[in-house]
Structure formats: C-alpha cells, structure tokens
C-alpha cells in the first residue's frame, strides 16, 4: 500500500491545525500544504473570488496527482466545496463549524461561535444554527481582524488580546460554557481566550472530524488502512511536508515552521518547497 499524497490548503496558516490533526492519523502520508496568505482573509472576499482561488490552488495540486484535497477553511468550504467536488475525481474534504458536537456534548450554558463574517452569514451555517438553537442558547460572533493578526505572527502579542476583547464586548463570560472555533486560524487562540474568560471553557473545532473523514475517504479507495488512528502511530513517524504560499515567502514559511512545531511537538521533517513546475 503506497503512502497517499494529500493536498491541504487554507487562506493562510490556519489550515496547519488541520494538517497537524491529519498527521496524527496518517503520519506516513505525504502532504502538500498551500497557505494562500497573499489573498487572506477569505472571509472578506466575494464567493466568486474565493471559488477562483480554490480552483487555482486545487488545479496545481491535481497536477501532482494528489489522492485527496482537504479544504482546511470553513469559508472556502461554504463557497466552493460543491463546485470542487464536481470538478475533481479524487475526494474533496471540507470543514464546517463544530456546532453539532458542541451542542450535544458541552456543559449547560451558552455556546459562543467565533467565525468569519462570511461563514456566519452563509446559508449552510444558518441551517446548522437553526437545527441546534432550539435546544441551546447560541451566540454567533463575526471576528474581523483576527486572521490578519495571526497571519502577521501576532497571536501572542498584546494587540491580539486587545482585539479579542473589543470583539467580545460585554458578553457575560460567566454564562459561556463552550466556544466553537469556526475558523481554523482561531484554533491558535485558545490560550488567549482562556486568559480573557478566566473560566473553564470547552473548545470545539472541526479538525478531528475532518481528519477522520479524510481517513474514511482514503480507506474507501484502498489508500490507507481504515483502522488508522493516532494510538496506532507509535513510535511516531515524522510526516513529509511540502509547503508553499502566495504571501511573503520568507515570513510565511518561517511562521508555518514555528506554528507546526508547536502543534506537532517538533515531530516534523524540514520543510521542502512545493514543486510548482
């Protein structure tokens, strides 16, 4: 059984959180990651602009004969997943805010959903919201500016907490029991949010479900063992990752290496530039 080649892309570095989760299940796979930082954030773009970017990135990955592509972005999934599945013959795995697991598993209290303005106003999310707001109090909050700060490498700077406090405003922190991180970039902000809320907050994101779906789709095509799981992957194999970006190359690659090392406890090989020939 060959090791699959998996393409993953996002509007920037946020999709690294998905890559790290996928690599926990499939460390022997080869990964192509594209950070579309030059066009971030997608949440401020039109649907047609996002669709154009998704096709351009996925076409390049298709030329490398990938076995699957993960659209590691809630906004891009909302905008382009249907068209991408019509365009390509290999599996296309998307994301959605983890509202269902939050509503079913979080402790009593209000669920706060943080997302881009685009994701929150999309019909797909509104349908998801209507399914669960009858049983739980849910607050959906667009978060402009956060993606740009993370892309600039500012997740640990005072400006990030100041921006978060501005967005959160007068929300009653004591009533919030769970936060749904509806943008892959926001997974990097768990510590910031813990500092602000000062309560025992549960976090939910779509990364685990996406990784499991990737395994299922690859297993159906005989590319991986259907029993692939993080527990089965010891001693740990360091995944092979190629990476490229539409942003300022030195900055983005350095940021990717820093963030992935944090996410994966340094269990990565040195990056290789993506072959775009």
Q: What is the distance between the alpha carbons of residues 18 and 77, in angstroms, rounded to a whole number?
A: 14
**Closest CA relative to residue 4, chosen from 59, 67, 63:** 67
CA distance 39 to 52: 11
> Do residues 143 and 69 lie in contact, with contact meaning Cβ atoms separated by under 8 Å?
no
Nearest to 29 by CA among 183, 238, 175: 238
Give the integer Cα–Cα distance in Å for 75 and 34: 16
What is the Cα–Cα distance from 71 to 75, expressed in whole angstroms? 9
Catalytic-role residue among 54, 73, 143, 256: 73
DSSP tag of 74: H
Active site residue 256: no
Are residues 187 and 207 in contact, defined by beta-carbon separation less than 8 angstroms?
yes
CA distance 145 to 114: 12
Write down how long the chain is. 277
**Which of 54, 143, 183, 256 does the annotation list as catalytic?**
183
Sign of the torsion formed by the C-alpha atoms of 68, 31, 179 and 150: negative
Sheet-wide strand order for 68-71: 92-93, 68-71, 5-10, 30-35, 240-245, 272-273
Q: 21, 19, 23: which is closest to 10 by C-alpha? A: 19
183 labelled catalytic: yes
Catalytic residues: 73, 183
């Amino acid at each position: 059984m060959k090791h699959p080649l998996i393409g993953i892309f996002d509007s920037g570095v946020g999709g690294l959180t998905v890559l790290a989760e996928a690599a926990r299940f499939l460390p022997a796979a080869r990964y192509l990651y594209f950070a579309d930082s030059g066009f971030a954030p997608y949440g401020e773009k039109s649907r047609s602009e996002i669709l154009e970017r998704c096709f351009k990135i996925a076409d390049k990955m298709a030329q490398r004969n990938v076995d699957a592509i993960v659209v590691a972005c809630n906004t891009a999934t909302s905008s382009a997943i249907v068209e991408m599945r019509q365009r390509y013959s290999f599996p296309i795995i998307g994301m959605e805010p983890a509202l269902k697991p939050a509503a079913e598993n979080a402790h009593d209290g209000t669920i706060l959903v943080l997302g881009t303005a685009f994701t929150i106003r999309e019909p797909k999310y509104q349908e998801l919201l209507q399914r669960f707001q009858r049983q739980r109090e849910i607050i959906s909050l667009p978060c402009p500016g956060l993606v740009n700060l993370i892309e600039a490498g500012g997740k640990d700077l005072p400006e990030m907490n100041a921006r978060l406090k501005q967005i959160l405003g007068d929300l009653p922190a004591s009533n919030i029991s769970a936060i749904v991180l509806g943008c892959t970039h926001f997974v990097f902000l768990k510590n910031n949010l813990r500092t602000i809320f000062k309560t025992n907050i549960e976090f939910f994101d779509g990364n685990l479900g996406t990784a499991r779906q990737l395994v299922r789709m690859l297993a159906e095509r005989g590319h991986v063992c259907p029993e692939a799981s993080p527990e089965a992957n010891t001693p740990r194999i360091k995944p092979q990752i190629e990476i490229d970006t539409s942003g300022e190359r030195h900055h983005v690659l350095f940021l990717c290496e820093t963030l992935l090392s944090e996410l994966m406890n340094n269990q990565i090989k040195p990056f290789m530039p993506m072959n775009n020939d």
